Structure 1
Amino acid sequence: MAGRAVTWERRAGPRAIVGGLLALAAACNGGASPLEPGATQPGTSTGDPTTTGTPGTTAPTTGEPPPPPTACAEPTDLTASPRTIGEAVAFINGLPQPLTLDCFLERLERPLAIAATKSVISLQPAVGEASPRLFLFAGELVMSVAVDGHGFDLLEFGELVAPTRSIKGEIGFPLADPIAHDAPFTRIFDGEDGTGCGICHGSEAPTPEYPQAFVSDALRFPDFETVAFADLRREYERCDPAVQPERCARLTALFGHGPVEPAAFPESMPTIYDYEP
């Protein structure tokens, strides 16, 4: 999975506009087969053998900590690994409402493949290496989320349709009701012949895959802006919910509900710095 998926950075312009993008980022605010749900410990755990629920019987503890509480409005067994934007919308609409982004992330099928960047050249910028921008790989679909700061409530999509071309979309959370199938595209449509992603992603053009959707250049972040997977996991392990409840909840939604593994973009994919003036 790590070598196949590709994502975006919101249409790269010449190097001369990089400083302008940083200012804009500060100013703007906006089928998968089901996996068995995360197992839950029966009974209660107090350090003694766990009660099974049958009077007079006990089961030994496993030494594993109990799973974290769900971020969803109500418990659900639904999981999925959407491979297209359309599948992601269908999955979103099947989850309990009202829906938070953390609930959606929690219910993604594991293992979850993640790459992280400290890049700030985006409308979903990182907040340093400790709170990077994260890319989630699922086949030809790459989704991005922020750990903290601007874009924290946004889920961004890049659906690969060619080695260096992808369809872009975006959904804002929380959601009170199910969304329309074209919601990821109408949100970023700029009212003309393109999208807000055109700020960073070159060569936008309409695409027949979805109504009102546009395809444009797919970009990767450069190696020097990579945040190591081990460092990202350490941020999850040492996060203090009493100090940073929302940031810790986001990291828990990603790392606390099953295996997570590192991913990477193909080196053949261009970066924002590869565009010529």
Structure 2
Amino acid sequence: MPKGNCALCHEFKELELSHIVPKFVIRYLKKTSFGAIRNMDNPNRIVQDGEKHYMLCGACEDLFSAYETKFANKFFYPYMIDSKKEFNYDQETYYFITSVSWRSLYLDILDFVKNHDAYGVDMNTLDNLIKKEKCMREYLLKKNSEIDGVENHIFFFDDLLDVEKSNAELRPHATFHRGIIIYTFFNKQLNSQATITNMMGIILFTLYSKGPEEYWENTEIHNGNGRIEARNQIVQSVCGNELTEILDLAKQKLDNISENQMSKIVDKVKADPDNFAKSKAYEDLMKDLNLDQS
């Protein structure tokens, strides 16, 4: 393992390969997939694991891992396997969401600084993101008990009954329920900045700056005890636009899949149609095909 400064504690130690989206999500996606999983940026490429970087030392990796296990057992598996809709949360849930978003924010800031012209990031936006990353890091190290100006939200992308025709063609169930993505985005005009993480339909939002017209209902995870339901959630925000952006991007990438790779997928289905019909991939495919397109 290479040595370097840990992104979290800043100590010079051996660095481990850290998953940006927690490993339990990738593991469940692989377990419930029919065949190989594919890279969203390049669907012609089969991948065995999620995005990883040498960024955390062993102690910090273990610190995050404990919270990941608790979230997986309390939220992720009950929602995915048992279709649970009501959840009690606590400070550990808030910590977990912060830890996931912080990983992406840390890496995205490095990218924004290096390629600021390509992203069009302005100095005010970058300055705020850097300040929020520092506050989150100190909270994660338990130097502070609160994070000023940061909100954590969970949005459950549940089954849709109807949708506009243009969005139905974007395969929303397959895209979100069978997908993993994480990134930080900003909108200068609306003064909105956030990190979004899709974990197979459990979508985390960490807001660093929120526009004046935004409205969130039954989504926020406070830094304490509370209750959240996977229904009756409302998001009126530029963050909601990002969900459409993800759908558009997924369709563009799928349209570019090669004939050779598409043929391999078709052959896989033909070789084992019974198991395909039992798979989560087929279930979400049928949900998309059966959408009432208004």
By the TM > 0.5 criterion, same fold? Answer: no
Structure 1 or 2: more helix by fraction:
2
Structure 1 or 2: more strand by fraction:
2
TM range (shorter): under 0.3
Greater RCO, 1 or 2 (C-alpha within 8 Å, sep 6+): 1
